[in-house]
């Protein structure tokens, strides 16, 4: 397929590269001329405006927007809506608030434009590992885009098949799913990120307890000088808590168990807040996820070993720099 891509940051650029690696054509735009030039060297058709990008695509046109959630994404989609026509497709692969997806899907449908939201997980590793995708939109449009999603997905790999899945959607086993109508993809991704907060917090607190077992106020015969890096490594191998987050933890600790490169200031992307708000709307108790979110707020005042480990994990999977950016608030994001 030939697809347009707007936003060539940490994930957008690699999405274009993974698509081209499998034979797709990409037309790309970014406000950074350097980013455009880099992708042009890699084989993309780089253009210097959104208008030029739309004009370069065959009909039905498909444009993937990979920008930070907020005003920039809203403005870009509104601009595209004015340039695209009946049966064209706008895809939002950023971390957009699902209620905004539902609104956009309804508004664009009135113009005959299809809207697809893609909750995209894979971070800076997606070029090689692939991207796990949770997709919202109407079924014919999602099916039309399947060659794109199949290329970006990680594939089945060597993960053992789950029993009793016969007759179910085979795309799921390849790392992507059609979750439902517009907004459903980002809703599932939002809850994914909320769960991620809880998992990260549990690792961080557990290692903090291990780290402090040698405290001077404990009885001497109950003190243990434990090796954090070795504990993380042994847990990776056959334990019930083995996971990619534990892999990233082990990697960070192997570089230095004191985590001196991290202050412990932990941002939140906004999706943890949206997850807690959804739980409130549904009257669903979510004590662990809520506590994990509040722990990130606390980290900005009092940095512990646990918070330094959280920062290390965020750097590992997403390249997130400590203290960068302000998370969007409901009513202030797109």
Catalytic machinery residues: 189, 196
3-state helix, strand, coil in the chain (%, to 5): 50, 10, 40
Q: Are 199 and 297 in contact (CB under 8 A)?
A: no
Give CA–CA dist 287/161, Å, rounded: 32
C-alpha distance from residue 154 to each of 130, 142, 158 (Å): 4, 18, 11
- Within 10 angstroms of residue 106's Cβ, the number of other Cβ atoms is 13
Tokens 């918070």 appear where? Answer: 307
- Within 10 angstroms of residue 234's Cβ, the number of other Cβ atoms is 12
Torsion of CA 130, 68, 134, 104, to 10 degrees: -150
Give CA–CA dist 29/49, Å, rounded: 6
HEC-encoded secondary structure of 105-118: HHHHHCCCCEEEEE
DSSP 323: T
- Report, in angstroms and rounded to the nearest whole number, the Rg of the chain calculated over CA atoms: 21
Cα end-to-end span (Å), the chain:
28
Under 8 Å CB-to-CB from 192, ≥6 apart: which residues? 119, 121, 134
Instruction: Please give the angle made by the CA atoms of 329, 331 and 334, to the nearest 5 degrees.
Output: 85
The token pair at 98 is 């699902």
Closest CA to 133 of 189, 184, 181: 189
Give CA–CA dist 27/46, Å, rounded: 6
């Amino acid at each position: 397929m030939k697809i347009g891509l707007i936003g060539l940051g940490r994930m957008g650029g690699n999405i274009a590269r993974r698509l081209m690696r499998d034979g797709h054509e990409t037309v790309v735009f970014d406000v950074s001329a350097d980013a455009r030039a880099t992708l042009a060297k890699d084989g993309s058709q780089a253009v210097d405006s959104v208008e030029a990008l739309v004009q370069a695509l065959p009909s039905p046109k498909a444009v993937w927007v990979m920008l930070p959630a907020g005003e920039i994404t809203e403005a870009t989609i509104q601009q595209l809506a004015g340039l695209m026509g009946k049966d064209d497709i706008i895809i939002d692969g950023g971390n957009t608030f699902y209620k905004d997806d539902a609104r956009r899907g309804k508004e664009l449908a009135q113009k005959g434009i299809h809207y697809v939201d893609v909750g995209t997980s894979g971070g800076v590793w997606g070029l090689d590992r692939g991207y796990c995708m949770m997709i919202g939109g109407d079924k014919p449009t999602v099916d039309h885009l399947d060659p794109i999603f199949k290329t970006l997905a990680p594939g089945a790999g060597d993960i053992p098949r789950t029993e009793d899945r016969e007759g179910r959607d085979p795309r799921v086993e390849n790392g992507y799913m059609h979750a439902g109508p517009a907004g459903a993809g980002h809703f599932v991704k939002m809850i994914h990120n909320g769960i991620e907060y809880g998992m990260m917090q549990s690792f961080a607190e557990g290692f903090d307890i291990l780290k402090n077992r040698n405290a001077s106020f404990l009885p001497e015969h109950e003190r243990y000088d434990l090796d954090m890096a070795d504990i993380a490594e042994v847990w990776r191998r056959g334990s019930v808590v083995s996971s990619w987050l534990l892999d990233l933890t082990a990697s960070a600790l192997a570089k230095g168990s004191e985590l001196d490169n991290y202050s412990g200031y932990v941002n939140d992307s906004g999706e943890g807040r949206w997850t807690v708000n959804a739980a409130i709307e549904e009257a669903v108790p979510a004590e662990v996820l809520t506590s994990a979110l509040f722990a990130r707020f606390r980290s900005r005042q009092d940095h512990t070993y646990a918070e330094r480990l959280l920062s290390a994990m965020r750097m590992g999977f997403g390249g997130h720099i400590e203290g960068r950016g302000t998370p969007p608030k409901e009513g202030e994001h797109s």
